[in-house]
């Protein structure tokens, strides 16, 4: 009898250990900027927006759903601050984890340097210490978070998560909107590209009529889904929540609304609810949510 009990205890301990090793951790990195330091609304500087509001809205919801949350807002969201957060996240990730990345900030086309873009332009997120225009010897783009750099972090995370993990990347920014802010419209982004050569940015709309794209996957990588607030040539509007009189990014607002009834999980079913919410909002009738997925 003792041997039976002893064997049962050993089996239970081993089983518990296997379950612990296989248990996923849910991790979220949330980055949002409201204060770009443009208190006098200088058109040559980034307009202040409502990105930090998005993070304040989302952070408690992710914690309620069991995510380990890291957040960077306003002055914390420098290029160095964001890259360090990526490095910490990569260090902590393990196979099978669910990882969610969220960026609420300005976006800007960035003149392609390595020839990998058919239209000659990369896309860049704008940390709080990135400037709007190129100035030789003063600011040459080092603090822009270019899509090539973002892709390197995304690829490394996918390798760490393995085939049983899952990565979501949410971009509540636009790459070519307008920085003007009227009484009724708040938008994110600028039409001008960041250029060293003086090249004029003209979006190729003929390539941007599809809202679904396929992302390649290397052997052993986790599946990934990118969710973007709008097509690259469209304005990404902020919307006013009439209940608390607060402005939010449109994509962030509908993710938060969805999370009140649906969990963020690996299935990605929650994305359909977000898309429906944005599509049915008349304020967003000229804005198309874009999804890029590996499968």
Token readout for 188 is: 């994110």
Token readout for 128 is: 């709080």
Residue of 79, 93, 102, 106 marked catalytic: 106
What are the beta bridge partners of residue 227?
A: 170, 291
Residue of 144, 174, 175, 186 marked catalytic: 174
Separation of alpha carbons 135 and 37, rounded Å: 19
User: Would residue 79 show up in a list of annotated catalytic residues for this protein?
Assistant: no
H helical segments located in the chain: 2-22, 51-64, 79-92, 147-161, 250-259, 270-279
Residue 2, C-beta contacts closer than 8 angstroms, at least 6 positions apart: none
Separation of alpha carbons 160 and 220, rounded Å: 9
User: Would residue 174 show up in a list of annotated catalytic residues for this protein?
Assistant: yes
Token readout for 1 is: 């009898």
Nearest to 235 by CA among 148, 173, 279: 173
User: Both ends of the chain: CA-CA distance in Å?
Assistant: 52
Token readout for 164 is: 């049983």
Token readout for 90 is: 């990569």
Q: Between β-strands 121-125 and 145-146, what pairing exists: parallel, antiparallel or unpaired?
A: antiparallel
Question: Catalytic residues, which ones?
Answer: 106, 174
């Amino acid at each position: 009898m003792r041997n039976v009990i002893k064997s049962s205890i050993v089996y239970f301990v081993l089983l518990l250990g296997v379950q612990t090793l296989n248990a996923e951790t849910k991790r979220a990195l949330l980055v949002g900027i409201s204060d770009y330091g443009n208190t006098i609304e200088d058109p040559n500087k980034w307009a202040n927006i409502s990105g930090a509001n998005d993070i304040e809205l989302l952070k408690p919801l992710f914690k309620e759903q069991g995510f380990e949350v890291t957040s960077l807002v306003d002055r914390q969201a420098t290029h160095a601050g964001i890259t360090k957060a990526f490095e910490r996240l990569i260090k902590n990730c393990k196979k099978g984890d669910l990882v969610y990345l969220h960026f609420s900030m300005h976006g800007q086309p960035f003149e392609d340097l390595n020839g990998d873009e058919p239209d000659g332009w990369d896309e860049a997120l704008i940390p709080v210490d990135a400037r709007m225009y190129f100035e030789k010897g003063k600011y040459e783009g080092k603090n822009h978070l270019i899509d090539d750099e973002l892709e390197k972090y995304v690829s490394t995370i996918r390798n760490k998560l393995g085939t049983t993990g899952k990565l979501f990347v949410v971009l509540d920014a636009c790459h070519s909107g307008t920085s003007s802010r009227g009484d009724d419209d708040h938008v994110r982004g600028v039409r001008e590209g960041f250029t060293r050569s003086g090249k004029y940015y003209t979006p190729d709309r003929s390539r941007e009529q599809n809202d679904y794209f396929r992302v390649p996957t290397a052997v052993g990588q986790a599946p990934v889904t990118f969710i973007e607030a709008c097509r690259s040539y469209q304005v990404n509007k902020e919307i006013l929540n009439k209940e608390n009189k607060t402005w939010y990014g449109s994509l962030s607002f509908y993710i938060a609304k969805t999370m009140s009834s649906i969990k963020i999980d690996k299935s990605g079913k929650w994305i359909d609810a977000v898309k429906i919410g944005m599509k049915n909002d008349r304020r967003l009738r000229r804005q198309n949510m874009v999804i890029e997925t590996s499968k």
